[in-house]
Chains A and B, each alone.
Chain A
Amino acid sequence: MTKRTVELELATPGVDAQGRAARMPLKARAAEETAEPDLGAEHLLVNLGPQHPATHGVLRLVVELDGETVVRCIPHVGYLHSGFEKLGEYRHYNQIIPLTDRTDYLSPMSNNVGLALAAEKLMGIAITPRCTVLRVIACEMSRIISHMVWLGTTSIDLGAFTPFLWAFQQRERIYDLQEMWTGARLTTSLTRVGGLMADIPDRFVDKLREFTGDFPKTLDEIDRVLTRNAVWAGRTQGVGTLSAAEAITHSLSGPMLRASGVPYDVRKDKPYLGYETYDFDVVVGEHGDVYDRYLVRLEECYQSNRILQQALDRLPDGPINVDDPRVILPSKTRAMSDMEAMIFHFKQVMEGVKAPVGEAYVGIENPKGELGNYLVSDGTAKPVRWRIRPPSFINLSALPRMAEGHLLSDLIAINASVDIVMGEVDR
């Protein structure tokens, strides 16, 4: 468990007389609530979005303002509702994987892994060791690019443009790697039930090693520019605080939950893909404000980098797909020359992979929080129900609680700190 606290010695609004970072104590909220709001005063309604650059997509916020203070903030979601779950009921399990790319499109590979794990659990398939490690690599690469988008866009929201360019430079490097591996920059469709769509190409390992060597330098630069920056600290410290108890009752997950001091990480506490064998720290914040969420995400990038290095060191040789002709397509040459392989090929393409009756839920630690995939099968090749537990949808539901009592400009910081991606919020 890692805790990071930064002491500041700057005469800014976020700093008290002794030079310590002034934070709003978590208990101070109770005193505010007892104060009667002045109902006679004229309140102003401001509509933010659905088309607003600071709402990170098509979120719409209706904000009731008393002067510049947010009295009430009502999010309206659903402007990107695309009917993923309904579509999933009409698709074979492998056909659902391209849909998962497009839910949380900031970390597509990790979504692919989540669905494949749920389908494999439902069918009782154990994947190969090489596939396990490659999926860990995919998940951690996704975490890095997702946190990089978060850092870049949030710093733009708070007035710092440079980290955006640095972050996107690193993203492009991961995009190159994703493109090498899957052929697509963004919509990767990496996994298949029981394996992967392709093994990593030559020179992938070298390139990724090169990336993991350089990447901490960029993080250090961002750290140097932002962490002790008076403007950054002043605008984020003590803003949007949530106590641990509030975070739990609002069902928050991921960095939002950990920034409030709850050390729950699915990778450690309900391990999948052998995460328990990797040496990494769960990053936990103390104050539950925007600043701590920033620290948690920044530190998680370092930890992901460590996991990537370990995964590269231990990457075993061997097949990437399970040896089960019921779920894995035979190679093209075998399907053309071997009668049995052709029959399996035909059955899989025409009928799909049948799952036994039952249900399975697998939660994985996505960059945004716990991404759950809940599949219910009635014995056919198409699920009866495919439910995504959307971490950013649930995290966003705490926004009204976090925003009230803050300034309108802080609302932008708070909204950014939730790290929403509307494709997943609305599905």
Chain B
Amino acid sequence: MKHVGEVKSSNYLLTKFQELVDWAVNSSRANSLWPMPFGTACCAIEFMATAASRFDFARFGMERQAFSPRQADVLICAGRLPFKLAPVIRRIYDQMPQPKWVISMGACASTGGIFDNYAMVQGIDTIVPVDVYVPGCPPRPEGLLYGILLLHKKIKGESLFDAVRRREEQPLDDKGLRLPPETIDEISEPFGNSVHQFRSS
């Protein structure tokens, strides 16, 4: 709790009701996240390794993996996302109940990675909103665990009473996009070494 009042005696303490509720709700949300593993490629293997005995993300309240989006809190997109899969992840995201969060695991899910070509979505944030990006190709299990802990931190900082920060459903616009086309073009631009590859002749 952020503002704990002066302790008058050992029997009670003072705080704002709002913060008590935020603390109770957010801690319980953060500490029992049910992940929806949207595993597509290599990162899914590291995701499985994170779930297996050596790294064991059940220690962080993720004992139960929800393979149905309707019972999940956090969508973990592990692996590259081709255009053919784009409507699928959007539908899964739409099916998840609020409140919901998204972790983008790996370089391909976050930016398209080494696949700057005709088939690959250049970052899943053009399709669904993302809360935590975990870099790496693939990230080590420790990396994913760190991303999960970051998400815990983010959840604990949210407030139920803050109308602006409450997570609203972001429906697709009339073009069927969640971002303006110029924004998508901008964040999908080639970067780094891929600029220097020669174009098709």
Chain B residue nearest in CB terms to A76? B84
B85 sits at the interface (CB 8 A): yes
A4 sits at the interface (CB 8 A): no
Q: Which residues of the other chain, B, contact A105 by a CB distance below 8 angstroms? A: 41-42, 45
A379 sits at the interface (CB 8 A): no
* With known contacts A50-B85, A86-B117, A168-B49, A102–B44 Cβ distance under 8 A: no
Partner of A79, one of B44, B84, B114, B198: B84
A19 sits at the interface (CB 8 A): no
A226 sits at the interface (CB 8 A): no
B46 sits at the interface (CB 8 A): yes
B138 sits at the interface (CB 8 A): yes
CB atoms of A57 and B45 under 8 A apart: no
B115 sits at the interface (CB 8 A): yes
Partner of B53, one of A57, A58, A169: A169
CB atoms of B119 and A58 under 8 A apart: no
Give complex CA distance A423, B40 in Å.
8
The residues in B between 117 and 138 inclusive whose CB is less than 8 angstroms from any CB of A are 117-120, 137-138
Contact with B along A51-64 (1 / 0, CB 8 A): 11100011000000
CB atoms of A82 and B85 under 8 A apart: no
Q: Which residues of the other chain, A, contact B42 by a CB distance below 8 angstroms? A: 101-102, 105, 186-187, 423
B82 sits at the interface (CB 8 A): yes
A172 sits at the interface (CB 8 A): yes
Q: Which residues of the other chain, B, contact A165 by a CB distance below 8 angstroms? A: 52-53
Interface of B is mostly: loop
Contact with A along B165-192 (1 / 0, CB 8 A): 0000000000000000000000000000
B interface residues, how many (CB within 8 angstroms): 34
Q: Which residues of the other chain, B, contact A53 by a CB distance below 8 angstroms? A: 37, 67
A211 to chain B, nearest CB (A): 15
The residues in A between 133 and 150 inclusive whose CB is less than 8 angstroms from any CB of B are 149
Chain B residue nearest in CB terms to A89? B200
Contact with B along A78-102 (1 / 0, CB 8 A): 1111110011001100000011011
B54 sits at the interface (CB 8 A): yes
Q: Which residues of the other chain, B, contact A298 by a CB distance below 8 angstroms? A: none
Chain A residue nearest in CB terms to B138? A186
A258 sits at the interface (CB 8 A): no
B199 to chain A, nearest CB (A): 9
A146 to chain B, nearest CB (A): 10
A418 sits at the interface (CB 8 A): no
A422 sits at the interface (CB 8 A): yes
Chain B residue nearest in CB terms to A98? B114
CB atoms of A169 and B54 under 8 A apart: yes
Give complex CA distance A101, B80 in Å.
14
CB atoms of B137 and A86 under 8 A apart: no
* With known contacts A90-B197, A105-B41, A422-B41, A80–B49 Cβ distance under 8 A: no
A106 sits at the interface (CB 8 A): yes
Q: Which residues of the other chain, A, contact B54 by a CB distance below 8 angstroms? A: 168-169, 172
Contact with A along B12-30 (1 / 0, CB 8 A): 0000000000000000000
Can you list the 5 inter-chain pairs with the closest CB atoms, starting with the nearest?
A105-B42, A168-B52, A83-B119, A83-B117, A53-B67
Chain A interfacial positions (CB closer than 8 Å to B): 50-53, 57-58, 78-83, 86-87, 90-91, 98-99, 101-102, 105-106, 149, 164-165, 168-169, 171-172, 175, 185-187, 422-423, 426
